[in-house]
Structure 1
Amino acid sequence: MKAAVLTKVKKIEYKDVKVPQIGEDDVLIKVSETGICGSDLSTYQGTHPYKKPPIILGHEVCGFVDDLGGNVKDLNKGDKVCVESYSACEECIYCQDDKPNLCLDKKVAVSGDWQGSFAEYFKAPRNSVYKLSQNVSDSEGALIEPLAVALHALGLSNSIKGKNIAILGTGNIGLCSLICAQKLDAKEILCSDISNSKSKLAKKFGVDYFVDVSKDNLVNYVRNIFKDGVDTTIVAADYPSAIDEATEITKRAGEIITVSYFEKKLEAQWNKIVRKEITLKGSAVSCKKDFLTIIKWLETKEIDPTPMISHRFPLEKAGKAMKQMIKNSGKIILYP
């Protein structure tokens, strides 16, 4: 099969590789569309903590079942599917507590022998695969994983309904957080970023306020609108002052939920967090219930995330797509 292989930092080669060999509990998927994630970009740039070349990137994927392991009885060849980015052991204390995202022995896509979806075929364990109806488009299917990640983060909040929300960063997860926060009936939503193009994307999804931080001071902007601050701040950007700014704009007894990874250790205003009784939470990937909720919303046409897609590239142009991603574009989709 053909695949876009990251052979070294910032170098992708379109080349022939072997079709993944599936085990008894695996599913072989013929890739239809696959999205580029921020973790793909950091791996491409050589800054990811453990994903290193040579490697096939990609885990946001929609496709069709091509082959099944002997133990997989509840899927059929030709079924449309999407895939979660990890496979939980289903046995550890966290799996038993319905927190598979915290599994002590989980396998992660784009690591080890679980190569990525920037290829014609993609292997995944059955417990990571979700069947989709034909009512869900291939493009929507490729967006389910980041939407589930965003929904999981919002689900860690005490409540989103009727609350004022700030989202720092309008990359893929930030935009997905905006979509989900609206669906969960947030009162008013403010987004911030440094790109005018991101402002246009956020406005497509009906954001109430957008702060271009290259022109306006985020803290002053928020205080002018929300006085004491917002109820919940979602950190979906990895710039050094993100947690400090979130602390400043979040109201007393509010909450900060960070879904972003940071390449460097951060200083935080711990005394201010204590004085304001702010709850600070991390959010790790997603769980089954998040996937099932997003799939339901898509099947019933309650959300339409596809306007966030700004570019589409054939798989052989994956290197060009990565360079476009660096320009802070919207969602980029690859197709074989």
Structure 2
Amino acid sequence: MKAVVWKSYNQLVYSDVQEPQCTDGSVKIKVMSAGVCATDVHVISGNFDNGKPPHILGHEICGEIVEIGKNVRSVQAGDRVVVETAVGCGQCVYCRTGNKHLCINGGEIGFPPFAGGYAQYVAAPENCVRRIPETISNDAGAILEAVACPAGAVYRIGLKPDDTVLIQGAGIAGLSFVQTARAFGVKKVIVAARNETRLDFARKFGADITINTKKENLTERVQEETGGRGADLSIEAAGAPATIEQAIKLVKKNGKVILYGIPDDTAEVSFPVKEMIMNQITAYGVTNNELVWEPLIDLVAAGRIQVNEMVTHCFPLRELDEAVELLKRHPDDLIKAVVHPWEI
């Protein structure tokens, strides 16, 4: 089969490799679309340590099951599926409490030792695949993992109808938080970003208030929009040291903060401990939630969360290196890019 192999740092090679084997309890999937994640870009360049090359990356996957292994019961060949990439042992305390992404013996499809979706076929454990209806396109399915993580964070922590939510960042994560908060029916969604095009996207996907931090004082605007209290939930979805600090300073007393954006390993983050203690702020580091997949698929199928509209760029698999360069440049019109393994 054709695949893109991460050969060494900053080197991707489109080549022929052996197809994965369908083992006991697993399925073999014909990959129809794979999302290109910024995390992969950082891994490829060596700025984020999550395994060593050579390896087939790609953890945002949609396709069709073409083969099932022994003892597979819940899915069958021909099913269209997305891949929930956390692989758990099923026995540890994390797996038994709905947190298999924290499994002490597991890993993640797309990162060593589990081959990922930048290939024509991928193998996955049965409990890592979720069926999707025909109303969800392959490209929407491919980036569903990128939506599931932000949605899962909100699903885990919860929201109330009278909450005001502040979101810093208007990339795929920030826009997913916007739509999830809207689906929860909150009172007000505020989005802050440095780019007006990004803020246009935020408004399109449901933000009530947008703040251009290049032109406006963020603290003053948040205070104005919250009656001087601060946000009930403050979400950091940019991964920058400055916005991480602001996320804690802009939440109300006794409020909640979601830390989602991951800074580079070289970044120095100043954490406002005094504000957290004196204002009784609770901060959550959240990355995944296996329990959110079924309700999220239902919301997407019902049109309450618009995923397909967030796919802005498509490439054949052989041009993955071009997609990676696009993410590095990060143009204003980019929300999410996907690659198609079977496109010539």
Indicate if the aligned counterparts of 1:168 and 1:191 stay in contact, CA closer than 8 A: yes
AA aligned opposite 2:284: K
- Matched residue, 2:220: 220
Question: Residue 220 and residue 306 in structure 1: after superposition, are their counterparts in 2 closer, same or farther (change >3 A)?
Answer: same
- Over the matched positions of the two proteins, sequence identity in percent amounts to 28
Question: Residue 172 and residue 51 in structure 1: after superposition, are their counterparts in 2 closer, same or farther (change >3 A)?
Answer: farther
- Matched residue, 1:148: 148
* Superposed displacement of residue 95, structure 1: 2.1
* Superposed displacement of residue 23, structure 1: 1.4
* Superposed displacement of residue 270, structure 1: 0.7
Query: Quick one: distance in 1 between partners of 2:40 and 2:111?
Result: 12
Is it true that 1:120 corresponds to 2:120 in the alignment? yes
Query: Quick one: distance in 2 between partners of 1:160 and 1:141?
Result: 28
- Matched residue, 2:316: 314
Mapping of residues 19-34 of structure 1, within 5 Å: 19-34=19-34
- Matched residue, 1:134: 134
Range with greater deviation from structure 2 (209-218 or 137-146)? 209-218
Range with greater deviation from structure 2 (59-68 or 8-17)? 8-17
Mapping of residues 154-303 of structure 1, within 5 Å: 154-226=154-226, 227-262=228-263, 263=265, 264-287=267-290, 289-303=291-305
Q: What is the TM-score when the length of structure 2 is the normalising length?
A: 0.92
Range with greater deviation from structure 2 (160-169 or 259-268)? 259-268
Indicate if the aligned counterparts of 1:58 and 1:117 stay in contact, CA closer than 8 A: yes
Query: Quick one: distance in 1 between partners of 2:202 and 2:110?
Result: 30
Query: Quick one: distance in 1 between partners of 2:104 and 2:127?
Result: 16
Question: Residue 200 and residue 51 in structure 1: after superposition, are their counterparts in 2 closer, same or farther (change >3 A)?
Answer: farther
* Superposed displacement of residue 176, structure 1: 1.0
Query: Quick one: distance in 2 between partners of 1:100 and 1:265?
Result: 29
TM-superposition CA deviations, 1:69-125 (whole Å, max 9, x none):
122133221110000121122211122223323322222122333111011111111
Indicate if the aligned counterparts of 1:201 and 1:308 stay in contact, CA closer than 8 A: no
Query: Quick one: distance in 1 between partners of 2:193 and 2:25?
Result: 42
Indicate if the aligned counterparts of 2:140 and 2:311 stay in contact, CA closer than 8 A: no
Query: Quick one: distance in 2 between partners of 1:299 and 1:238?
Result: 30
Is it true that 1:40 corresponds to 2:40 in the alignment? yes
* Superposed displacement of residue 61, structure 1: 1.0
* Superposed displacement of residue 158, structure 1: 4.5
Query: Quick one: distance in 1 between partners of 2:106 and 2:126?
Result: 14
- Matched residue, 2:81: 81
| SS state at 1:150 partner | helix
Runs of 4+ in 1 over 3 A off after TM superposition: none
Query: Quick one: distance in 2 between partners of 1:106 and 1:113?
Result: 10
| SS state at 2:4 partner | strand
| SS state at 1:93 partner | coil
Q: What is the TM-score when the length of structure 1 is the normalising length?
A: 0.94
Q: Gaps (5+ residues) in structure 2?
A: none
- Matched residue, 1:330: 335
| SS state at 1:206 partner | coil
Query: Quick one: distance in 2 between partners of 1:275 and 1:156?
Result: 25
Indicate if the aligned counterparts of 2:56 and 2:116 stay in contact, CA closer than 8 A: yes
Question: Residue 202 and residue 163 in structure 1: after superposition, are their counterparts in 2 closer, same or farther (change >3 A)?
Answer: same
Query: Quick one: distance in 1 between partners of 2:10 and 2:216?
Result: 33
Question: Residue 213 and residue 44 in structure 1: after superposition, are their counterparts in 2 closer, same or farther (change >3 A)?
Answer: farther
AA aligned opposite 2:281: I
* Superposed displacement of residue 219, structure 1: 2.0
* Superposed displacement of residue 132, structure 1: 1.6
Query: Quick one: distance in 2 between partners of 1:160 and 1:241?
Result: 28
AA aligned opposite 2:277: V
Query: Quick one: distance in 1 between partners of 2:173 and 2:225?
Result: 24
Query: Quick one: distance in 2 between partners of 1:216 and 1:46?
Result: 35
* Superposed displacement of residue 11, structure 1: 2.4
- Matched residue, 2:16: 16
* Superposed displacement of residue 41, structure 1: 1.6
Question: Residue 178 and residue 268 in structure 1: after superposition, are their counterparts in 2 closer, same or farther (change >3 A)?
Answer: same
Cα RMSD (Å) = 1.7
* Superposed displacement of residue 194, structure 1: 2.4
| SS state at 2:61 partner | strand
